[in-house]
Chain A
Amino acid sequence: MVLRFTPSGIYCPAGDFHIDPWRPVNRALITHGHADHARHGHARYLATDIAAPVMRHRLGAIKLDTLCYGEERRIGGATVSFHPAGHIPGSAQIRVEVKGEVWVVSGDYKTAPDSLSTPFEPVRCHSFITECTFGLPVFTWPTETEAAQEINDWWAANASAGRFSLLGAYSLGKAQRILSLLDPSIAQILTHGAVEQTNNVLRAQGYDMPPTLHVTPDLKPADHPGALVLAPPAALGSTWARRFRPASTGFASGWMRLRGVRRRRSVDRGFVMSDHADWDGLNAAISDTGAENVYTTHGYTDIFASWLKDQGYNARAVPTEFTGESEEDSIL
């Protein structure tokens, strides 16, 4: 087998490296900078050039080598390359070829384009290890334009009613994607420190985002009536958020598609927006790889694997003990 599932993560015997391992290893290939994929403690890292600044920001002084999308690298008996996954800026699928047999590890991916990350590209392979966080037919996403419209309408209505708009979104990826969709003519955009730090890293890389104001202790909310405040989900119910009153709260996530989850978060508004592929996206992506063997990880793996078997694939779920937890899972 080109790749194997081990207690440390996905392992390539021919090249003696791991992909997104969750225990410290000698050489780690990293699909993207989210904390559940890019972990501390590996001796050497390899990632895309675009993902590198965020990884350095999050992991500090690491020994990190980079590749551009599509660039090939020989590691032992394996040839590896990184391909756009459309999840967040710099996110990649990792292609591994050993003696003509090609495997692709999807990492987290999203097939619909957004305004920030390099659009997803299907990669032909024999075996595809795919995430399926939202691998159920109930998960389908509205278009980027519809989502933007819904958020801006909500913000504008709040602003005209004299309310703040407190919007929760993961500080790497989702927050910047939302930023790029906001209409800055409505009012000021304020950011939580965790979001602003990531903004600065991505701005320095040349990503274009509307101007934001970092919420510091001396900031007076009253100076920014109707502002939209972008913060990590955990900050929404905290004392930090209490200075913005009155406020309407919102949360942007694929989980907001489910009424029950929306109610559990007890926010005023749930916006259906995910950095993961929806049901149609997953199915299209898998079909485009031309793969015969499909391994499902993260999410509804058993159900999705059964569905793929029905569709004629040789599919199986990667056992839980060989998968970490996705950020969207753990945040709930």
Chain B
Amino acid sequence: MKRFTDLYTTIDQTTKTTVKVDALTEYFRAAPEADRLWTIALFSGRRPRRAITTTKLREWAAEQAGIPLWLFEESYGIVGDLAETIALVLPPATQDHDAPLTDWIEQMRALDDADDDTRKSAILGAWDQMTPRERLVFNKLLTGGFRVGVSRKLMTRALARATHRDEAELAHRLMGDWTPDTTTFTDLIEAPDDAAALSRPYPFCLAYGLDETPPEELGHPGDWCAEWKWDGIRGQLITRGGAHFVWSRGEELMTDRFPELAVARDLLPPGTVIDGEIVAWTGTAPLPFNDLQKRIGRKTVPKTLLKRAPVIVLGYDLLEDGGEDIRARPFAERRARLDALMQGLPENAPLRLSPLIAFKTWDDLRQHRATAREQRAEGLMLKRADSPYHAGRKKGDWWKWKLDPLTIDAVMIYAQQGHGRRANLFTDFTFAVWSGNDLVPFTKAYSGLTDTEFRQITAWVRKNTQQRFGPVRQVTPEHVFEIAFEGIHESPRHKSGVALRFPRMKRWRHDKPVQEANTLDDLRAILAQYG
């Protein structure tokens, strides 16, 4: 546990990639095999199930610290991280330990069937042997909230270095639904394994945003292919050995959530892997993401929902054809093979090509992009015609060219302190638009300003608080912010009658007097147009 905590701390304390990779490499060389396997699992999002409710952990920690629960909760609100808050309020340990990570995880999992008294004494005993840093890691494992600032890619690179194996091959091996219970370090990393290979998806190829860069800088339009960037769930549809599998980009096996995709077994030859977008479909166009979202949360989907929001896969790319990994082939070729494969599928098949957009000049494409919202797309994807299907995010061959967000100028009316990285800064704001002489709140936003701007606004909030409601401060309506958002829909639960998708502060409009902020009617007009 000490070795793992040191690793976690080193990674947590640095922003330098080389330091992170070096620390991981060293860890993979030196740690016991079982710990290595757990570390790979944890660093690729395979967290153990939450062993104990956080309510209990809070009670026990507050009791142990000799503080009332409300004070614990207030502290948590400011620290912003439950595992850390517990680690910090507890009195110093009175004992020491040298148990490896795997032992602690096993102990923790053994508590699954234990009664509360046994759990409590086990947890208090564990805390009493640990430094605050170990407690932080342990608590994160306990609460199922373990995350770390290392991409899978870097973890895989370190593992490749430590084991002297090929990075791309390792990346592929680490995909799929293994857990430390179903495999061993040797089986996962070294041994040949046909059974696991059956369901295994490929690492997704990811794109960077084009942002402010004009596409002209990408060179000749003829070298590029363009398609819509759909607003659904990016996934891989796999048919192998008579079975089919659906994986999300988050590497979640979602086969059972989308029963309508089961016909893929009959429609596609075995040994096929399609990269595409899972969308709810009307017959001619995708439904808003909202409709798809209603299905995602459910393990089993009721019939009515299946009927109201049936899903299809809009195919982008072909990664495996006839059992052959064709990711190294140029995009244009893969795409042609995908076209051929989809030819002759029945009209009602839950599989369609995501159409390529023909264009001669970048200006042509600009005009297409401007119509993305009508297509229910988020913008465009640009792919270099001769590009391979990379593993992970790589700059240069693929670009997202998203639509400019919708915007509205709004008045800040409430402010609240942030937590975690932003404790003691005011970062959470409520914004309003005018309705006659009243300001009607319609959204909150937390991101988009620079640290310097957050400091400025924090100093201002301190001096311009009119009233406090618990942690929320009502401030003088004086500052106007341009709020950007990706979508808007009607919401009877909100006072303003609308809800925004991904709202954030785009700009602090120092230049704009508060009277000139937008109105509720302006907001309704956007709803009528884009909702």
Q: What is the interface of chain A, defined by CB distance below 8 A to chain B?
A: 136-140, 255, 257-264, 266, 268-270, 300, 302-303, 306-307, 310, 320-321, 325, 329-330, 332
Contacts and interface: CB of A to CB of B under 8 A. Distances in A.
B8 to A, nearest CB: 11
A214 to B, nearest CB: 29
Given A137-B71, A266-B15, A270-B13, A321 B79 contact: no
A321 B88 contact: no
A329 B13 contact: no
A303 B136 contact: no
A258 B423 contact: yes
Contacts of A268: 13-14, 16
22 contacts: A137-B88, A137-B89, A138-B75, A258-B79, A258-B84, A260-B422, A260-B423, A261-B423, A262-B13, A264-B422, A268-B13, A268-B16, A270-B13, A300-B74, A302-B468, A303-B74, A307-B67, A320-B465, A321-B465, A329-B424, A330-B455, A332-B455
Closest 10 CB pairs of A and B: A260-B420, A138-B88, A260-B421, A264-B421, A303-B74, A137-B89, A136-B75, A138-B75, A137-B67, A266-B15
B346 interface: no
A266 B459 CA distance: 22
B459 A261 contact: no
Interface string B60-79: 00000101101110110011
A322 to B, nearest CB: 11
A307 B71 contact: yes
B190 interface: no
A261 B421 contact: yes
A259 B71 contact: no
A191 B180 CA distance: 52
B423 A269 contact: no
Contacts of A255: 424
B156 to A, nearest CB: 24
B425 interface: yes
Contact of A137 (B12, B65, B423, B465): B65
Given A300-B74, A310-B68, 10 more contacts: A137-B67, A137-B89, A138-B79, A138-B88, A258-B79, A260-B421, A307-B71, A320-B465, A321-B465, A329-B424
A259 B139 CA distance: 15
B463 interface: yes
Provide the main secondary structure of the chain B interface: helix
Contacts of A260: 79-81, 419-423
Interface in B412-433: 419-425
Nearest to A140: B88
B65 to A, nearest CB: 6
Interface in B1-30: 12-16
Contacts of B81: 259-260
B510 to A, nearest CB: 20
Contact of A332 (B15, B424, B468): B424
B12 A259 contact: yes
Interface string B498-516: 0000000000000000000
Contacts of B468: 302
A257 B421 contact: no
Given A303-B71, A321-B463, A261 B12 contact: no
Nearest to A138: B88
Contacts of A325: 459, 462
A269 B424 CA distance: 20
Number of contact residues on B: which range applies? 35 or more
A259 B421 CA distance: 7
A257 B88 contact: yes
Contacts of A138: 75, 78-79, 85, 88-89
Contacts of A137: 65, 67, 71-72, 75, 88-89
A140 B72 CA distance: 15
Most buried by B among A136, A139, A264: A136
Contacts of B74: 136, 300, 303
A269 B13 CA distance: 6
A257 B75 CA distance: 13
B462 A320 contact: yes
Contacts of B70: 306
B451 interface: yes
B7 to A, nearest CB: 15
A257 B81 CA distance: 13
A270 B13 CA distance: 8
A24 B431 CA distance: 36
Nearest to A259: B84
A57 B388 CA distance: 66
Nearest to A139: B88
A36 B78 CA distance: 24
Interface in B88-104: 88-89
Contacts of B68: 307, 310
Nearest to A303: B74
A303 B68 CA distance: 12
Nearest to A255: B424
A204 to B, nearest CB: 34
A255 B421 CA distance: 11
Contacts of B67: 137, 307
Contacts of B136: 259
A321 B463 CA distance: 6
Contacts of A303: 71, 74
Interface in B462-480: 462-463, 465, 468
A320 B78 CA distance: 18
A320 B15 CA distance: 36
Nearest to B92: A140
A138 B425 CA distance: 17
A61 B78 CA distance: 42
B189 to A, nearest CB: 31
Contacts of B422: 260, 264
A137 B74 CA distance: 10
B78 A300 contact: yes
B18 to A, nearest CB: 11
A257 B465 CA distance: 28
Nearest to B12: A259
Nearest to B88: A138
Contacts of B16: 268
